[in-house]
Amino acid sequence: MTVVYYTLGVVIFVVAILLSIALHEMGHMVWAKKFGGKVTQYFVGFGNTIWSKKVGETEYGIKSIPLGGYVKIIGMLPPDKDGHLRQSNTGMFTQLISDARAAEWELVQEGDEERLFYKMAWWKKVIVMAAGPAVNILIAFVIFVGLFASYGNISDISTRTEVQEVQPCIVPYEESGRVCNDKDPVSPAFEAGLQRGDEIVAFNGTPIREWSDLQKKIRENSDGRAVIEVRRDGELTTLTTNTTVQARPTSTSDETLTQVGFLGVVPLSEPQTGGLFYTLAQMGDMTVQTVKSLAHLPVKVWGVGEAIVGARERDPEGPMSVVGGGRIAGETAAHQEFPVKEKLVFLLMLVAGFNFFIGMFNFVPLLPLDGGHIAGALWEAIRRGWAKLRRLPDPGHVDVAKLLPIAYVVAGAFLVMSVILIVGDLVVPIHLA
C-alpha cells in the first residue's frame, strides 16, 4: 500500500502543477484575445505533440514533456527600424535576431496587421504578459486563504501557555525521545501535579501571557522554588514545586547546551489561523523571502551541483525542481504516521508554494520570462510619455528583438539550473523530515 500511496501523491502533485501551468497559459491567451490579438497555439508541455485540436484560429494541445507550456501570440517581434524582417548581416547575434523576426512573421497572414502583439497599447501588453504569473499567484492565494482560515498556517506555529503534555521524568537531552526508566528522577511538573489542558497564568507571581515569557522565567529560575498558578476547568489553582537544573539548548537557533532551569511541560502548539488580511500579510512576507531566494538562486543551485558530486551535503532548505516536489508529495502521501487531513494540508501547501514561486519567478524582468516583456512594455510607455511631454517625435514601439541575445543567454542559464536541480532531486534528493 505504501507504493500505491506514494504513486498517488506524485500523481496528485503532477496533475495539480499541470493544471496550474494550463491556467497560467490560459491567462495569457484570454487577455490576448480580449484585446484583439491572434493566438495560434495553446499547448501544455514541450516536445512531441500527444494530442491537439484546432478550434477556430487556435490549436489546443498537450505535448510529451510536462515541464511547462506556451501560447503563440503572433507579432511579438516587430520589424527593424527600417521595416526589414531579415538582414544580410553575417554577425552571429544580428543573424539570430534577423532569423527570429522572419520566423515570427511567417505566421502573419493577410488581415492580421492590426492584430499584432507589438502594436498593442503598452498597458494591454502589460496585462497580457502579467496575466499568466498573476494566475499562479491567485491560485496560491486561494489555497492559502482557505487553509489559513480553516486549518491554520503550518509555517506559523502559535505556542500557547496551555499544557499539552507533562513529562513524567527527566530524560537527559542527549537521550530525548526515550521512555522513562526507574533511574530517571520525577520531573518538577509531574511532582507539582500539572495536567494536560492546564493554562499557566502566572509563575512566581509574574503574570504569563506568552509561552516565551514562561520559558524565560523557568530557565532563569534554576533550581529555585516555583509557584505556578493555572486555570483548570475555569477555576484558578496554585501549584508549587522546585525547578531543577538541566542541560538544554541555548535557543532554537543555537544547539549549544546550557545549564538552565527545567520544569518538564510541553506547551500546546497550533498553526496560526487567519482570514483575508492575515493571508495577504503572510504572502507579503513570502514575497520578500522569494525575492531574496531568487537573488541567491545561482549560488544555491551551485551548492546542489556540489552535492551531486559529493563535495557537500544537500541543503534541505535549498531549491528543488518539480521532480523534487513530486518526491516530497509521494513521501507525504505514503507517510504512515500522518493522518489523512494533515497529508492533504501538506500537499495543498506544497502546490500553493510551487504556484507562488512560479508566479514570482515569471515576474523577473528578464527575457524570455513574462517579466522581460512587461519591462519592455513599461519602457515603451516611459519613452513615449517622455517624448510627448517634450513634444518630440513618437519613438515608436520598443524593439524587444534586440534583447534576444540576452534572452538566449538567460534561457540557457535557466536550462542548466533546471537540469542541475532535476539531477540533484534524483541523485541527492531532499526527503520529508
Nearest partner of 99 among 81, 113, 119, 80, judged by Cα: 80
Q: Distance of CA 313 to CAs 303, 317, 433, Å?
A: 9, 12, 15
What are the domain boundaries of the chain? 2-146+353-427, 157-272
Q: Distance of CA 136 to CAs 17, 24, 28, 124, Å?
A: 10, 6, 12, 19
Pull the grid cell for residue 371.
517579466
Range 347-350, long-range pairs (CB < 8 A, 24+ positions): 347/9, 347/12, 347/13, 348/143, 348/147, 349/143, 349/147, 349/154, 349/155, 350/13, 350/325
Q: What is the pLDDT of residues 116-136, one digit of tens each?
A: 898 999 999 999 999 999 999
Mean pLDDT (whole number) for 15-41: 94
Q: How far apart are CA 57 and CA 38, in angstroms?
A: 8
Q: What is the pLDDT of residues 304-348, one digit of tens each?
A: 999 998 888 898 888 899 889 999 999 888 888 788 888 899 999
Say if residue 35's pLDDT is above 90. yes
**The predicted structure's pLDDT at residue 72:** 92
Report H helices in 227-339: 276-295, 297-308, 322-334
**The predicted structure's pLDDT at residue 1:** 58
**The predicted structure's pLDDT at residue 161:** 86
Catalytic entry in 25, 229, 331, 380:
25
Q: Tell me the torsion sign for CA atoms 22, 28, 31, 35.
A: negative
Mean pLDDT for the chain overall: 88
Residue 25 among the catalytic residues? yes
Assign domain 157-272 to its CATH architecture.
Answer: Roll (2.30)
User: What distance, in Å, lies between the first and last C-alpha atoms of the chain?
Assistant: 21
Q: What is the pLDDT of residues 44-66, one digit of tens each?
A: 988 899 999 999 899 999 998 88
Q: What is the pLDDT of residues 294-315, one digit of tens each?
A: 899 999 999 999 999 888 889 8
| Cα 386 → chain centroid | 38
Percentage above 70 pLDDT, the chain:
96
Are 56 and 387 within 8 A, CB to CB? no
Pull the grid cell for residue 225.
522554588
Say if residue 74's pLDDT is above 60. yes
